[in-house]
Structure 1
Amino acid sequence: MSVPAMLTGNTKVAKTPTNSKSWGLVVLLLIFFTMNFADKAAVGLASEQIRESMNLNAAQYGMLSSAFFWLFAVGAVVLTAVLKRISYNWAAGILMLTWIMSMLPITVPTTFGVLLTSRILLGFFESPAHALVQSILHERFPPEKRALAGAIVNSGSSVGPLLAAPALTWVILTWDWHASFILLSAISILWLIVWMAYADKLPFFKPKTMAHAKQDVYDSNADINVPFSRLLMSRSFWGLAALSFSGYLISSLKVTWLPAFLHEGLGYSSETVGLLVPIPYAVAIIILISAGVISGRLLKRGYSSRVARSFLTAGFLLFSGVCMMLFAELPPGPLQLVMVVAAFSINSVAFTVGFAGASDFLPARQRTAFFGCIIAVYSLAGMIAPLGLGIIVELASTPTEGYANGFFIVGILICIFGVIGGLLLDPARERERLLLLTKKFEAENALRG
C-alpha cells in the first residue's frame, strides 16, 4: 500500500509534485530558521561578558535567559492566529522585520532593563516561526517527504549556532557583545531584502483560501472537519506537546547555558568554548536529517505512523536524556565531552519527525493554529529550564556541583516526557477518531437542517 493510501484510507487526494521551486523554498526557509536560532545563541555565547558588564549572578542571568520565553506562549497563539490570514511571503517578511527591530536597542551599550525587554519582545515575535515554516512545508510536500523537508529547515536550529559560535565569539572577543547583535541585524536586513524581492515568485497560497487553492497542494486530511477545540482535547495533541517539551528542555539549555557550563563547569577558556560549542550543533544536523530519512523510509516500508513518528522521536529523546544524566556524573574528560555532544544533539528531532506525525491527521487549514498551540505549551520548558538551572547553580557550593545536579534533573525530565509523548501520539488512530467525529457532526447538522 502506498504511503498516501495508508494514511488516508480510501480517500482520494491530489498529490504534490515536488519540483525545484519547492526545494528552493526549503533553502530560503533554512536561512530564515538559521537566523531565528543564531540570535538565541548570541546571549549564551556572550554570557560571561554580559554578566561581567552588568554585574549579574547566575540566578539573574538565568532570569535573563528565561525572559525570552515569558511571552513566547502568548505570541505562539496570538501571532499564529493573525499570520494565518496573511500570505506566507508577507508573514515571513513581517516576522523578520520585528526581529530586527527587537535587536536594534541592544546594538549599543544599554541597561539591564532594556536588554531584558529586548529579549522578551524577541521571544514574542519569534514564537510563530516554527509553526509558520512547518505549515508551509507540510502543504508543499507529501507525507513521505515532509519529515525530510522539515528536517532540512529545522537544521537551521543547528546551523545558526554552528555558524554563530565561532563568528560571534570572535566578534565578541574582538569588540564587545553589542557588536554581535550589530552583525545579526545586518544579516537579517539582507535576508529581508532578498526575501521581499523574490517572494512573489515562490509557490505561496493564502491559508484562509486554502480550500480553494490549486490542486497541487497536498492535503490528505481535507475530509476531516471538526471544531478546533476537539483537536486540543486529543491524546495526540498532548503527546506531541510532551515530545516537544522534552526536546525544548534540551534546546533552551543548549543556547543559554552550554557555553557557560563548558567555561565555568568544565574550566575551558572562552576561545576553546567558541570551538567546542559548534560540535553538538554540527552533529545535530546529521542526526536531524537522518531521523527525517529514517521516518520516511519506515512509512514506505509499511510501518505505522506511530512507529515512524512517535516511537522514533521518543527513542531519540530517551537516548539524549540518558546521556545527560551520564555526563552529569562523569568526571571532566573526553568521555564526558562525548556524552555532552550526544545529549545536546537530539532536540530538533521532536520538532521535525513529531510535527510530521501531526500533519498525518491535521487538515491543512488547522495546522498553523495547532502548531502554534503546541509551541505555546513547549515554550514553558524554555521559561523554566534556564531559570531553574541558574538557581541550582547559584545555590550549590561550587558551579561544577550546581551544573551536575541541574543537568541530572533535566535528564530525568527529558526521559519522562519523551516516554509520555511517545505513548500518547498516535497519528493513524487520531485520524480514525477525527473521521468518526466528522461523520457524527455531519449527521447532527443534517438532522438540524
Structure 2
Amino acid sequence: MLSSTKRCAALAADTASAHPTHARETAQGRRWVIVASLFLFMMINFADKAVLGLVAIPLMHDMQLTHGQFGLVGSAFFVLFSISGIAVGLIADRVNMKWLLAALALIWAVAQLPLAWPTSFAVLLLCRVLLGAGEGPASPLALHVVYTWFDDRERNLPTAIVQQGATAGVIIAGPLLTYISQQWHWHATFLTLGAVGIGWTVLWLCLGKTGNRQHNASPAFAVEVAAPRAVSLRCRRMLSDRTVIGVMLQCFVGYAVVAIGFTWVPAYFRLGLGFAATQAGWLFALQVAAQIPLGIALAMVSHRMLKRGVPSKVARGKLISTACVVSGVAYCSLLFGAPPFVQVALMGLASALAIQTFTFGPMLVAEVAPAARRGALLAITNSIVTTAGLIGPVAMGKLLGAAGDARGYEIGFAVTGTLLLIVGAAGFALIDPQRSKRRMESIPA
C-alpha cells in the first residue's frame, strides 16, 4: 500500500500528465518567481557591498582611520572572495543549489551583525573578510540557477533582471542607509542589513528550486574522480579559450569599477565635489539608477539581434566591447574638469556601461561552456575577475594619500577609463562564441 507521500506524488504525476498545458503554465510561472527571488538576492548582495562606502566618513571619524586603513578595509572584502568563489564553484554542479544559496545569505547576515555595535578595527576587517567569502560565489551561482530554467536564446531578459538586482540594491541602499545612519547611527545600517539577510534566507527556503535545463553529470563526476588530470586539462583548456579570456579581461576592469565605486565614490561626492551627506547618498543612488534602463535596453537590443539571426559574436561580444570603449572615454573625460553635476552624470554613464560586463560576460561564458561544467566555469571565471576588488580600493587609497582628495580621485578614474579602452579593444579581437563553442565541444568529457 502506498504511503501518503507516494500517493501525493502519484496524484501529482497523474494530474501533470492529464493536464500538460497546466503543468507548463505552472513551470513558466515558477521560473519567474525564481527570477524575482534571485533579483532580491542580488539586491541584498550589493547593498551589503555598498554600505561601507555610504558610512565611510562617520566610520573613519569614529574609528580614527586613515585613507590607507579604510582602503585596506575595502580590499579586505576580497581576500577570500575569489578563493571562496572557486571552491564553491567546483562543487556547484553536484550540490543542492537551494541550500547552498541559503547558506550564503546566512553568512552575509552573520558578517553584518557584529558591526551593529561599537567594535575594533580588527573585527571590522574580519567581518568584511567573512562577508567577501560569503558573497564570492553569489552572482555566478544565482545565474547558474536562472540558466537551469531558461534556454540559451531566452536568457537575456532574466539575466538582465537578476543582474539589475545589484543596481536596485545600491539605489535603495544609497538614500535608505544614509537616512538610517543620519537618524540613528552608522552601526544601525549593519543591523538592518543583517536582519534583511535572515529574512531572505527564510523566503528562499520556502520558494527556491532549480529547473531542469541542465545535464547533471553523474558520468562526468565518475570521470573526475577517476581521472583528476583529465579534469585539470579540461579546466585549463576552457580557461585558455579566447572568448573566455576576452570576457575575463572586460569583467576584471568592470569589477574594479564596482569595487572602487562602493568604497570611494560616496566619499568623492562629499569631499571631492562638495555635496552634503544626504545629497551624496541620493546622487550615488541616482547615478547607479542609470544602470537599470541602460542595462535592460542593451539586453533587449541584443535579444532582438539574436532573434534576427545576428551571431552572438556581434549581438553580445561587439555590443559589450563598444560599451567598454564608451565607458572608458567618459571616465577619462573627468580629467578635463567640469561642474560637479556634470562630473556625476559622466560617472553615472561610465559606471552604468562598465557594469554591463557582468550581464553579457556570464551569458557568453554560459553559451560556450559544456552544460555539465557551466556552474563551475561561471564561478571560476567570476572568482578570477573579482580579484580586481583586492587591487582597486587600496590603490585608490594610496593615490589619494599621495595626490590629495579631488585630483587623486580624478586620476584614479582616468586610469580605470584607460583600462576600459584597452579591454574594449581586446573584446573586439577575442570574443567569438561560435568558434569557442566548437572548440569546447572538442574537449573530451
TM superposition score category, shorter chain reference: 0.7 to 0.9
Alignment of 1:12-411 (within 5 A): 19-199=28-208, 202-204=209-211, 209=216, 227-396=234-403, 398-411=404-417
Q: Post-superposition shift, 1:206?
A: 11
Q: What are the Cα deviations for residues 157-191 of structure 1, in whole angstroms up to 9, with x where unaligned?
A: 11001001111001111111110010011111111
Q: Post-superposition shift, 1:105?
A: 1.5
Alpha-carbon distance in 1 for matches of 2:341, 2:50: 24
Equivalence for 1:217:
none
Structure-1-length-normalised TM-score: 0.87
The answer to whether the Cα contact below 8 Å between 1:88 and 1:205 also exists between their aligned partners in 2 is no
Change (3 A) 1:281 1:417: same
After superposition, the CA RMSD in angstroms is: 2.0
Q: What are the Cα deviations for residues 259-285 of structure 1, in whole angstroms up to 9, with x where unaligned?
A: 011011111111110111111221101
Change (3 A) 1:260 1:409: same
Q: Which moved more, 1:176-185 or 1:363-372?
A: 363-372
Equivalence for 2:226:
none
The answer to whether the Cα contact below 8 Å between 1:329 and 1:404 also exists between their aligned partners in 2 is no
- Which residue type is aligned with residue 117 of structure 1? L
Q: Which moved more, 1:80-89 or 1:258-267?
A: 80-89
* 3-state DSSP of counterpart to 1:356: helix
Alpha-carbon distance in 2 for matches of 1:93, 1:238: 31
Alpha-carbon distance in 1 for matches of 2:215, 2:64: 49
- Which residue type is aligned with residue 57 of structure 1? T
Q: Post-superposition shift, 1:203?
A: 4.4
Structure-2-length-normalised TM-score: 0.87
5+ residue gaps, structure 1, are 1-15, 213-225, 443-449
- Percent of paired sites with the same residue: 31
- Which residue type is aligned with residue 420 of structure 1? A
* 3-state DSSP of counterpart to 1:39: helix
The answer to whether the Cα contact below 8 Å between 2:98 and 2:210 also exists between their aligned partners in 1 is no
Alpha-carbon distance in 2 for matches of 1:328, 1:123: 32
- Which residue type is aligned with residue 128 of structure 2? R
Equivalence for 1:433:
439
Equivalence for 2:420:
414
The answer to whether the Cα contact below 8 Å between 2:34 and 2:207 also exists between their aligned partners in 1 is no
- Which residue type is aligned with residue 427 of structure 2? G
Change (3 A) 1:416 1:93: same
Structure 1 segments, 4+ long, off by >6 Å, are none
Q: Post-superposition shift, 1:405?
A: 1.3
Q: Post-superposition shift, 1:205?
A: 5.8
Alpha-carbon distance in 1 for matches of 2:302, 2:165: 19
* 3-state DSSP of counterpart to 1:56: coil
Alpha-carbon distance in 1 for matches of 2:68, 2:396: 8
* 3-state DSSP of counterpart to 1:414: helix
Alpha-carbon distance in 2 for matches of 1:209, 1:168: 41
The answer to whether the Cα contact below 8 Å between 2:172 and 2:285 also exists between their aligned partners in 1 is yes
Alpha-carbon distance in 1 for matches of 2:335, 2:147: 38
* 3-state DSSP of counterpart to 1:351: helix
* 3-state DSSP of counterpart to 2:309: coil
Q: What are the Cα deviations for residues 30-72 of structure 1, in whole angstroms up to 9, with x where unaligned?
A: 0001000001010000000111011112121111111111111
* 3-state DSSP of counterpart to 2:206: helix
Alpha-carbon distance in 2 for matches of 1:232, 1:149: 25
Alpha-carbon distance in 1 for matches of 2:399, 2:287: 24
Q: Post-superposition shift, 1:211?
A: 6.9
- Which residue type is aligned with residue 121 of structure 2? F
Q: What are the Cα deviations for residues 94-122 of structure 1, in whole angstroms up to 9, with x where unaligned?
A: 11111111112111110011001110111
Alpha-carbon distance in 1 for matches of 2:127, 2:212: 32
Relative to its length, the structure with more helix (as a share) is 2
- Which residue type is aligned with residue 38 of structure 2? L
Alpha-carbon distance in 2 for matches of 1:163, 1:49: 20
The answer to whether the Cα contact below 8 Å between 1:158 and 1:285 also exists between their aligned partners in 2 is yes
* 3-state DSSP of counterpart to 2:148: helix
Change (3 A) 1:145 1:29: same
Q: What are the Cα deviations for residues 296-334 of structure 1, in whole angstroms up to 9, with x where unaligned?
A: 111111111111111111111111111111123223333
Q: What are the Cα deviations for residues 61-101 of structure 1, in whole angstroms up to 9, with x where unaligned?
A: 11111111111111110122234322121111111111111
Q: Post-superposition shift, 1:406?
A: 1.3
- Which residue type is aligned with residue 108 of structure 1? W
- Which residue type is aligned with residue 407 of structure 2? E
